[in-house]
Every structure is written in structure tokens, then in C-alpha cells.
Amino acid sequence: MAPRATAVGRRRRVGGGDPRVSPQFAETSTETRPDVPALVAHLATLLALVRWRAGGRTAWLWTAGAWQGAALRLSIKAVFGLVGILAVVVGPSPRESRGPGRVGAVVCFVAAMALVLGALLAGLVLFTGTDTIPGFYRDVVRDSLRFVDFGKTWPVYGSEIGAYLAAALGLLLVLRVRGLGILAHPVHGVLLLPTFTSMLVLFLPRTPAVYQHAWLPMLPVTAIYAGLALATLAEWSRRDPTPWRKGLALRRDRGCRGRAARRDR
């Protein structure tokens, strides 16, 4: 999973942070829960969208829709970032696109997603009978909306403050260079729009069951921008090697490596 997250960040040289430096990611991503394979499918969706935005091949759009359908099959929480993903799809078409326009892009994405979800429902009917569909709706969809626990966990714990500060610095560096055009970038827009929409839904007071696993999709993106900040500091110290700049870059790098080493022990 961590290599897939890193691959998304390294596409088009945006950055390549390792989410395993975050204790929360190390703790929640190793548990046997549907949230974990759903996260893998979510990251595959983002990677396919990045490739579509970079090259314009419609096949990557179909791939993204199929992976998003797989994420929804595994966890209903995948719907939280769906609005942001659709915003990426309906955004300005890639310059090198040889496929459909905005409406056609949405149709391709939704059709691929519907095919995967339809295969799930068809499999349920085939192996368990038609009575499974009402039960599936009642237990998965309706009961999730009526869940009574509105308690919330938060994405930042004491052990992750450094990683989040580095990620904030990385995002500020990108904003300083690109401004609001960051959302039209083939990588940054794909990373940020689904993440921000997921965070917005999770912060809403009536969103139920916001447990630690609900924040999993945000952690790889945090690691990517934290890695971007560390790489920028290292390059900064190389180009203008004053002692305090070298020390700043070295301390940040050692801090992340130290957290990863303590986790591995």
C-alpha cells in the first residue's frame, strides 16, 4: 500500500513521501478491516486519474471508475471522497485528451463504477437469492445512515504533529508557486479535491462513526506533501549550504526516520 501511495506522489515529480512514518497509518493500515483494501482501491483510483489527466487516454478513466466501484464495494466510507473525484472528472479536459468531453468523461467514469457495483449485486443474487438485495440495502445503506454514534476521532495526534506540519509546509510551497491553479494540475488537483471533500464530510457534526480508520485516505496525501517539503528543504540546503539551512533539513529528515525506526521496533 505504501509503495502505491508513493507512486501517486512521484508521478510528474510532485513528491514521494512514505505514509509509514505516520504512527496512525502504521497502526490502522495493518488491521484486517475492509477499510484497508478500500484504501488500496482508492489510491488506485487516484493513480488512474493522474494518468488520465496527464495523458488524456480514456482507458485510464474507465480504470479509475472501476477502482472506485471496487472501493465502494469494500467500504461505504468511500462515498465521502466521491464528490471530489467527480469534480476532477468534470474539470477541464486534459490538453492531450483524445476522448470524450466533460459529459462523456462523467459517463465513462460512472459506467465503469456501475459495472463493478452491478457485478457485486449480481453475484449476491446468484449465490444467495433475491432476498439478499433488500437485506443488503437495510444492513449496509440504511443502518449506516441511522448509526447512532456521532463521536469523532481527529486526524492529528501528538505523534503526527511533525508530519502534518511538514505537509502543510509542502502545500504552502506549492500554492506559492502555482496559486489557485494548483487544482488544475494533473496531480495536485487529483490529490487535493477528494481529500478536502472527505475531510469536509468527516467534520460535519451529523456524520456518524468517524473512527480512526475514516481518516486513512487522508494520510497518504499528507505523506506526499510532507515528502515534498523535506525534498525542497534538502534542495534548498544544497543550493545555498549555510550551516543553519543544512541543520534544518537534517533535523527534519532525521525526525521522520526516527519515527519510522521506533515504529519498526
pLDDT digits (tens, 9 = 90+) for 55-83: 878 899 999 999 999 999 888 888 888 99
The predicted pLDDT at position 64 comes to 95
Give the model's confidence band at 173: pLDDT under 50 very low, under 70 low, under 90 confident, else very high: confident
Cell readout for 236 is 534548498
Q: What's the CA gap between 71 and 38, in Å, rounded? A: 5
pLDDT: which is higher, 263 or 190: 190
For the cut 80, the answer to whether the pLDDT of residue 174 exceeds it is yes
For the cut 80, the answer to whether the pLDDT of residue 253 exceeds it is no
Question: Per-domain residue ranges for the chain?
Answer: 2-264
CA distances from 264 to 23, 25, 261 (A): 10, 13, 5
The predicted pLDDT at position 98 comes to 62
Q: What's the CA gap between 246 and 233, in Å, rounded? A: 8
pLDDT in tens, 10-47: 444 454 555 555 555 555 555 567 778 888 999 999 99
CA angle in degrees (0–180, nearest 5) for 121-74-190 = 115
Mean of pLDDT values over 229-252: 62
Give the model's confidence band at 157: pLDDT under 50 very low, under 70 low, under 90 confident, else very high: low
Q: What's the CA gap between 251 and 48, in Å, rounded? A: 35
Mean of pLDDT values over 134-155: 73
Give the model's confidence band at 121: pLDDT under 50 very low, under 70 low, under 90 confident, else very high: confident
